[in-house]
Structure 1
């Protein structure tokens, strides 16, 4: 009844706040906050996390946020998320630029002024020390702070933040040009700091890192360093001698050697997660890691040039709790090294082998025989791995849920049939450019893997319609990517549309046999479709799009470049019929002025000059 508010009169504030705390998604919270002013103010009180992209006058924006949200404990600022510069211009300038009655000389002047203002706007979209000080003053109880690629933040602002925000537990400064003085201040005042990310902080030296490490030694559990030329073994030695609670270490540096890594291994016995991309680290370090780091669970090694089977044997011998192993571009590791890991680390649940050209069939066979708890396997650019490797995986790894295969020329239908029959819990299967895998292997997956929800078969030339018909009958897919599978046509996509009503993501780009029939079937059978990629489909027309969008009302993204049958009318149909559309990728010349006025913010162009 008008004039009566039965809900607000009955519900106490504590109960409404508890309701807001139990809402997991931001859209749900935002919707509830629109009920009334009281609910809006309570939702602001209950919010604990803010995420901020690049914004106009960010320093003032932070001040405004601090007045509205009083209980924030986590702030994430990521200036890689750009804003549209023209929208930042004052209204009066926008009107003058768009005034069609202005003479051509005036237009040229306005264009020049716009280019200058864009540079100024780009600078004004970056958080500065003033904004960091405002953040510290407005949110003194903050515990988690991420400043991603904020180039105008310096030691001065970080120093002020450290003085105010003494409860800080997590600090991410990736891409910030902060200096040693700022880090020293964090070490002096933030005695509860547990997580520290200094990736791509080029202004740092050993002095700043050491001051912070010494100050926060009792609490630091995670450290990340990358591309910092002046951070050397000296910093790692300090970490090893002071940070007894360290659990996670990520290093990407040409200036870290065995001396630094060994110091960490000797002093940080609780180390669980180690990620290294250090070309100057050798087997000597891994001998110590295998001997002393018995708690190690995750090991990721990238681009190692001096790491061999000897180091792998040390890891296999000592790190019995290892669950996650990644080897990328480790050219001197062979099957013998992987066999040592498999025999010693029977708790492995995830293995990724990427570009390790000396690892072949025998190494993966050892994983299949010795690691029954494996749930995820990724083999990328492994030319020496054959069918018998995956046959052993199918026999021994019954819990496998995720399989990635990229450019594995030795793996074919025989291997896929073994995986399908043995790994019936498979949920995600991603295959790219494995030219020996065809219909037989995919049909077996459709027959046996009833839990499959994600399937990607990119550029698998031997896969055709009969494979997708089997998938449509046997699996309820949510995501499907068959880009570049030239034998797939309307029959296969129609079978997916009829058999997978939960489909939300579909990529059928570069399929020359796909036409409007497929889009019509998708419109009828897949009303939950959100993302559609149909670029380079030469037989798709506006008519097919019209049938699709009549039922697919939740469509959010649609990529349709290089589709000659799609015109400006088709683009307008997608934009006008899909209320949730966020991105349409299309050639610029296919977008009418009316569509630009109506939904210019969601239109993206492959090439601005075409």
Structure 2
């Protein structure tokens, strides 16, 4: 119980209390010297007893500025060295009955609870206060509890259950350093090392002390997804702490030491090339590029000579017992030998036997001798990393994928996600082996570049019998479609757990592979066949009928047509012989009813009736792409769904009335693409009966409906999109991230100038055929600080070099097509300075590049004087591009004067470039043949070297 003591008669009251107590009690008068006097504080003094500690009302007690605690003297002496020193011993005052305590009141109350065996809740917010109090009062029980708590929270492996934030961790580490507490810095460093990827995404990452960062990066448990994540994180930290780096020589030495810890041979080429402009990383970037190209030039059989000692530290991928994701994407130097060396037991690092086995394994690999593979494989003592769930080896042309999979299935037994995009050496027939080797695999990405595929020029004849309609059902006999996987399927021993499969752009996928997939992947939920032009409508339909759990289907630019729609809209087949395929959704009317994603853009083999039937049954759709299809208004009117988040009807005949109908039913729409829809500008629509009727919504009114109904993140609009439309859309586009304005739109100068104000979060701005000026472009460049993509294509108006004199550090992709005919080499230099971080560049119609003097005379001077300075002058534009943007991945130069007159050798200084398109530029071959021959004979020069 609480006993109140009058402040006015405090002394006499205390004396009365003491007269009734025995010698084992002591009074603790508690005040907080740092506490302010809040309006709600109580100035009365209260007396509480530890005998009633279980009934203490802490919120009420802490409203008082001071209070007195009647406490057991023996208990205080037993569990607190502070009170032991005061109340007993040679220099103590054993007769002391009243002690003044000036400490944080809440903290001291918690200390008393620990002393008297009552639980205390420790959190990251009160850890330091409790620890400091425990040290001052010498409460060993609390110190042990705090240590146990810190060990517990820093040993958690699940980031979702983290109980400590990075800023708290930094403060705890600093406290441990200041108080010479060894276990605190050690635990904090280990925790940060294991969760380094999490830390890099925290705002407090830039405030990590240099010593902590050094200890973390050198810690054996340092866990990162890839080497470039580590390098990038450190460069970001270093940039933010430039002043500290430049003012302290010891800090500078520590930072240089960290840079040496980065394994530059394992960085992606695009990353290393892109950091050649970074003043802190220039030296290491050049060394990295040299090492990467050196490793890339060696074959698998000669790789061991490069590796040297099998325990080479800088050629081992970082793998720890806490690694969940391994990202090796974009590393052309990645070879199987490097991968394997990283997974060998450390105890065998000095043993020559593994080195010989790896070399023999590589020889057998190049000779495709599978039997020898297995014999050599059995001799290799590899480690197992059971936490690894995801591996990304996209864009690793030097890595033999099938051998890598053998390595993954042995060292990563819990692998669930495999991303191997742009792996051209993987044969689809090996998918069965992949399923067998990695039984837990649930997601596979085997994407290749879809851009070279021209669907309109590809004709595919079905290799399977067409499906036949029987009323509303489809006749399907699984045994009638045998394949290479049929026996495995019948045995039910190889049914995989793959739920997401991406085969985008793979023209080697045929109906045969689709049959294998449908038999092996009974749990398939997501399938991406975009650009797979070798599959037929019948092949897709058979897969759809087999994979009855399918809820996401991406079949853009394929032969998806009548049979596939018939399969989707037919009743779910009762495959009684294959119970493993049964789902809880057998009560659904059709497979289409469960679809959440349907992308069929560019698929023209569908009539209006079938498409309308499909739309009427896909009521659960969240993402729908119908671009470049034959849809009409009646098709959209038949759609009854209300969950759409993305709709793409670009280049179709839909009207504003039909689009408004969809919008009104789907308030959750976040992305709308309707570029190229000419009918949005018209005022009448044809109904199903063929009679023209007035729109329910005028061209402007459907924008009002969109503005009032949705909260958009991306739009792509053309015909009918005007300044009035933008004004109507204002409520819906305050959080817009991307905007594309296409042919037929006319926003006008005022609307374009207001765009950054209306949509301050824009990251992508793409304008086609708009009237723009310096004011518009300057406002975009200066105001949109998140801008990453800017494309100005065939725009009218008057823009000058002044527009590009503003720094846009986040810009990654720049496309200038027919808008900067005035661009010279000097303008190009300014562009490299203000848009320094580009990875994609497209210039079209910049005819003044390298055309100041007569080209023929310059080439003659170059040939006869043979001066390197003139050679640099002739190829100056390319030198500007390659030195100004060393990290470019894609370069498109079309109708750019004489930029390629003397070949493209300088462009290849962009070491990471993957895509070059050069068209309609002045070429060396346009010069007189005798001059070309003279040039080549004198200098041994060949275009592209």
TM-score band by shorter chain is 0.5 to 0.7
What's the counterpart of residue 382 of structure 2?
A: 164
Once the two structures are TM-superposed, the CA of residue 355 in structure 1 deviates from its matched residue by 3.3
**Contact 1:220-1:243 at 8 Å conserved across structures:** no
CA RMSD of aligned residues (A): 5.7
Which of these residues, 163, 186, 196, is aligned with residue 13 of structure 1? 186
What's the counterpart of residue 144 of structure 2?
A: none
Once the two structures are TM-superposed, the CA of residue 79 in structure 1 deviates from its matched residue by 5.5
Equivalents in 1 of 2:623, 2:327: separation in Å?
29
Once the two structures are TM-superposed, the CA of residue 425 in structure 1 deviates from its matched residue by 0.6
Does residue 221 (structure 1) correspond to residue 448 (structure 2)? The answer is no
Equivalents in 2 of 1:388, 1:127: separation in Å?
66
Once the two structures are TM-superposed, the CA of residue 152 in structure 1 deviates from its matched residue by 7.3
Distance 1:608 1:215, change over 3 A: same
Does residue 388 (structure 1) correspond to residue 563 (structure 2)? The answer is no
Distance 1:182 1:9, change over 3 A: same
Which of these residues, 269, 272, 275, is aligned with residue 525 of structure 2? 272
Equivalents in 2 of 1:188, 1:505: separation in Å?
42
Secondary structure, aligned partner of 1:483: strand
Equivalents in 2 of 1:181, 1:482: separation in Å?
43
| Structure 1 residues 10-89: aligned runs within 5 Å | 10=179, 12-18=185-191, 21=195, 24-25=199-200, 35-36=210-211, 39-45=213-219, 46-51=222-227, 68=261, 78=268, 83=273
What's the counterpart of residue 619 of structure 2?
A: 346
| Structure 1 residues 211-610: aligned runs within 5 Å | 211-217=433-439, 219-225=440-446, 233-234=483-484, 238=488, 241=492, 242-251=494-503, 256=509, 258=511, 260-262=513-515, 264-265=517-518, 268-276=521-529, 277=532, 279-283=534-538, 286=541, 289-290=544-545, 293-294=548-549, 296-305=550-559, 307-308=561-562, 309-314=565-570, 317-356=590-629, 358-367=630-639, 370-380=640-650, 382-412=651-681, 414=698, 417-422=701-706, 423-431=709-717, 434-446=718-730, 449-460=733-744, 462-468=746-752, 471=755, 474-479=758-763, 481=765, 483-490=767-774, 492=776, 506-508=790-792, 511-515=795-799, 519=803, 530=811, 536-537=819-820, 556=837, 607=899, 609=901
What's the counterpart of residue 83 of structure 2?
A: none
TM-score if structure 1 supplies the norm length?
0.66
Residue range with higher mean Cα deviation, 179-188 or 245-254 = 179-188
TM-score if structure 2 supplies the norm length?
0.45
**Contact 1:399-1:425 at 8 Å conserved across structures:** yes
**Contact 2:428-2:509 at 8 Å conserved across structures:** no
Once the two structures are TM-superposed, the CA of residue 42 in structure 1 deviates from its matched residue by 1.3
| Structure 1 residues 122-161: aligned runs within 5 Å | 123=297, 130=304, 139=319, 141=321, 144-148=325-329, 150=332, 153=335, 156=361
Secondary structure, aligned partner of 2:679: coil
Equivalents in 1 of 2:885, 2:512: separation in Å?
56
What's the counterpart of residue 580 of structure 1?
A: none
Equivalents in 2 of 1:355, 1:204: separation in Å?
32
**Contact 1:417-1:445 at 8 Å conserved across structures:** no
Distance 1:199 1:544, change over 3 A: closer
Which of these residues, 378, 400, 408, is aligned with residue 178 of structure 1? 400
Q: Structure 1 stretches of 5 or more lacking a match?
A: 56-63, 95-116, 568-586
What's the counterpart of residue 109 of structure 1?
A: none
Distance 1:30 1:437, change over 3 A: closer
**Contact 1:445-1:471 at 8 Å conserved across structures:** no
Once the two structures are TM-superposed, the CA of residue 169 in structure 1 deviates from its matched residue by 3.8
Equivalents in 2 of 1:179, 1:592: separation in Å?
35
Equivalents in 2 of 1:450, 1:334: separation in Å?
39
Secondary structure, aligned partner of 2:797: coil
Secondary structure, aligned partner of 1:311: helix
Secondary structure, aligned partner of 1:47: coil
State the number of aligned residues. 529
Task: Deviation per CA, 1:542-592: give whole Å up to 9, x if none.
Answer: 99999999xx9997559796779999xxxxxxxxxxxxxxxxxxx987779
**Contact 2:444-2:500 at 8 Å conserved across structures:** yes
Distance 1:498 1:164, change over 3 A: closer
Once the two structures are TM-superposed, the CA of residue 348 in structure 1 deviates from its matched residue by 1.4
Task: Deviation per CA, 1:473-510: give whole Å up to 9, x if none.
Answer: 64435246353434233565577689878767655565
Equivalents in 2 of 1:545, 1:77: separation in Å?
29
Secondary structure, aligned partner of 2:662: helix
Distance 1:472 1:152, change over 3 A: closer
**Contact 1:328-1:355 at 8 Å conserved across structures:** yes
Equivalents in 2 of 1:270, 1:437: separation in Å?
44
**Contact 1:163-1:185 at 8 Å conserved across structures:** no
**Contact 1:446-1:473 at 8 Å conserved across structures:** no
**Contact 1:333-1:359 at 8 Å conserved across structures:** no
Equivalents in 2 of 1:542, 1:279: separation in Å?
46
Once the two structures are TM-superposed, the CA of residue 17 in structure 1 deviates from its matched residue by 4.7
**Contact 2:560-2:600 at 8 Å conserved across structures:** no
Q: Structure 2 stretches of 5 or more lacking a match?
A: 1-173, 232-256, 278-282, 338-360, 366-372, 449-481, 573-588, 683-697, 851-872, 894-898, 902-921, 923-945
